[in-house]
Structure 1
Amino acid sequence: MGQTLSEPVTAKESAYCQNEHYRVGSSCMQGWRVNMEDSHTHILSLPDDPGTAFFGVYDGHGGASVAQYAGKNLHKFIVKRPEYKTNIEVAMKQAFLDIDDAMVYDEACADQMAGSTAVVVLVKDNRLYCANAGDSRAIACVNGEVQSLSIDHKPNNEEESKRINDGGGWVEFNRVNGNLALSRALGDFVFKRNALKKPEEQIVTAYPDVQTREITEDWEFIVLACDGIWDVMSNEDVAEFCRKRIGMGLYPEEICEELMTHCLAPDYQMGGLGGDNMTVVLVCFLHGKTYDDLIARTSKTTNATQTEEMDLK
């Protein structure tokens, strides 16, 4: 864990945007950390591909430069890949490597120990593509059920540990070379110096996993958040927390704020849980209807579930 404050900074920077397809809310909070190193993105229609939406959360470490650069530019690297028109999954994977390479030559991002996770979602033609490098995470709530959209990249995972060792590194205390608590990231160039290995084979790689889904009328919302949330709550807990509050009529940005407050440690004596920077993006699917329609739908099904649970007792 990084340096901490004597009292947390609980001020939240929140925003929202909406069109006929989405109602999106976001919020971020510095918390107990000395600096805020996260970044995030929500774009309802990409300038270079109108009608395509893009959302991302970037959890920086060792400084905010890599997260901020990725937040401003990663979607641009994806769209300009030659594969983008025919194979978005490949375009996203290569774009992560492209932006990583570009940052090596950017003075603001070239710090060897600065890095960032990246979990991003691109939605085009009712297809969702989620690319992830690191331990930020994305989930979906589909007809009240949780779907995981990403896999955390931790050094003690078998596949990750093998790449780390093959690249010349080691895993100690569940950290890369005893230092980094995640095994894939943008930046962290000190772990990417093996000239005999490809970018995706380095001790730490920016190469993401990509999952795809078809968006149907049953899709209610997705949540993208940094590990400051997931260290405290499970996928199911977060989905239930958000769904309940949608049914209560809260707006997405308000739900993001409440989620962070819920996860914030009351003091810094909890082994680091709830002490990290926190960032949440909540994307609600409208399917051409209104947000009030989503409120009514989730409220109705949530109340029905609660009635069934009472009947079983």
Structure 2
Amino acid sequence: MSEIPSNPVTVSQYSYYSDKNYPKRRTMEDAHVICDPLIEIEGHIYSLYAIFDGHRGRTAAQHCAKIVKDKIKEVLQRKDEEFKEMMQDAMYEMDMSLKENGIEYSGCCGLLCIIEIKEKKRIIHMANCGDSCGIIIGTNDIISMSEEHKTTNEDESKRIKESGGMIINGRVSGDVANYTRIRSIII
């Protein structure tokens, strides 16, 4: 964890914008969730900000946006796991829910941001799966909170091949298990 000296302000005080990337796409394939606050557990207040980048349609992104609040609430209430494992569990459970609901053609990447208020400090936890990217922009600094899982990334390419996957024309052919990177900072 890194400490950032600043005056914390929640994201809900700002606006957001999304773009369907016209003319490449005729419909919006992405989905987002803002839930501030989401849940309070033992004096800790958690807020959720999530973006799901739809691939080959919006079905998977919309499904994940619909279930993410309940999945995050469920994993946050587990007391025997580290935060990293809880976030990985939430991503894995959303992936399994896609399969259980027959959503196989459409897929999505995800970026989850959980802001935890603990003893007057805000702890920002971010997790990403796929090519979604999260950054924090401060007055004097930009902090990368995620690592995109792209085939051009040497470590990701190696992980895909070691998992039995193939890279053809810069894309993954076949199913690849979720790989989630978690990072937390205190502000």
The CA distance in 2 between the partners of 1:66 and 1:45, in whole Å, is 25
Write 1 or 2 for the structure with the bigger share of helix: 1
**1:156 equivalenced with 2:152 (yes/no):** yes
Equivalent position amino acid for 1:89 in 2: K
The Cα shift of 1:130 comes to 0.3
Contact 2:76 2:86 in 1 (8 A): yes
Equivalent-residue separation in structure 1 for 2:124 and 2:148 (angstroms) = 19
Question: Which of 13, 21, 26 is the matching residue for 1:34?
Answer: 26
Alignment of 1:243-258 (within 5 A): none
Q: Is the 8 A contact 2:39 2:73 kept in 1?
A: no
Partner of 1:218: none
Q: How does 1:226-241 map to 2 (within 5 A)?
A: none
Query: d(CA) in 2 for partners of 1:83 and 1:157?
Result: 34
Number of positions where the alignment pairs a residue of Structure 1 with one of Structure 2: 169
- Equivalent in the alignment of 2:137: 141
Deviations 1:92-148 (A, max 9, x none): 0111001111221114xx22x311010111010211100001112111122331111
1:76 maps to amino acid: D
**Cα distance in 2 between the residues matched to 1:93 and 1:205:** 11
- Name the structure 2 match of 1:105: 100
Deviations 1:186-228 (A, max 9, x none): xxxxx33xxxxxxxxxxx222310001011xxxxxxxxxxxxx
- SS of residue paired to 1:63: coil
Gaps of 5+ in 2: 1-8
1:34 is displaced (CA, Å) by 2.0
Q: Which has the larger radius of gyration?
A: 1
> Which residue is equivalent to 2:3?
none
**1:56 aligned to 50, 58, 71, which one?**
50
Match of residue 178 from structure 2: 206
TM-score (norm. length: structure 1): 0.50
1:150 alignment partner, SS class = coil
CA distance in 2: counterparts of 1:83 and 1:52, whole angstroms: 11
Partner SS for 2:86: helix
Asked if the contact 1:94/1:207 (under 8 Å) is kept, the reply is: no
CA distance in 2, matches of 1:72, 1:152: 24
Residue 26 of structure 1, CA deviation? 1.6
Question: Would the aligned equivalents of 1:78 and 1:84 in 2 still touch at CA under 8 Å?
Answer: no
Give the one of 154, 162, 169 matched to 1:173.
169
- What is the alpha-carbon distance in structure 2 between the residues aligned to residue 133 and residue 170 of structure 1? 18
TM-score (structure 2 length as normaliser)? 0.80
Written as runs of structure 1 = structure 2, the 5 A alignment for 1:58-73 is: 58-73=52-67
Aligned counterpart, 2:14: 24
Look up the SS of the partner of 1:27 in the other structure. Answer: coil
Identity %: 25
- CA distance in 1 between counterparts of 2:82 and 2:160 reads 29
Per-residue displacement from partner, 1:167-194 (whole Å, max 9, x unpaired)? 33211222113xxxxxxxxxxxxx33xx
Higher strand share: 2
C-alpha distance in 1 between matches for 2:107 and 2:114:
22
Report the CA distance between 1:162 and its aligned residue: 2.0
Give the CA RMSD over aligned residues.
Answer: 2.1
Whether the 8 Å CA contact 2:52–2:109 is kept in 1: the answer is: yes
Match of 1:122 in 2: 114
Alignment partner, residue 88 of structure 1:
83
Aligned partners of 1:156, 1:172: CA distance in 2, in Å?
Answer: 12
SS of residue paired to 1:81:
helix
Task: Give distance in 2, aligned partners of 1:21 and 1:118.
Answer: 20
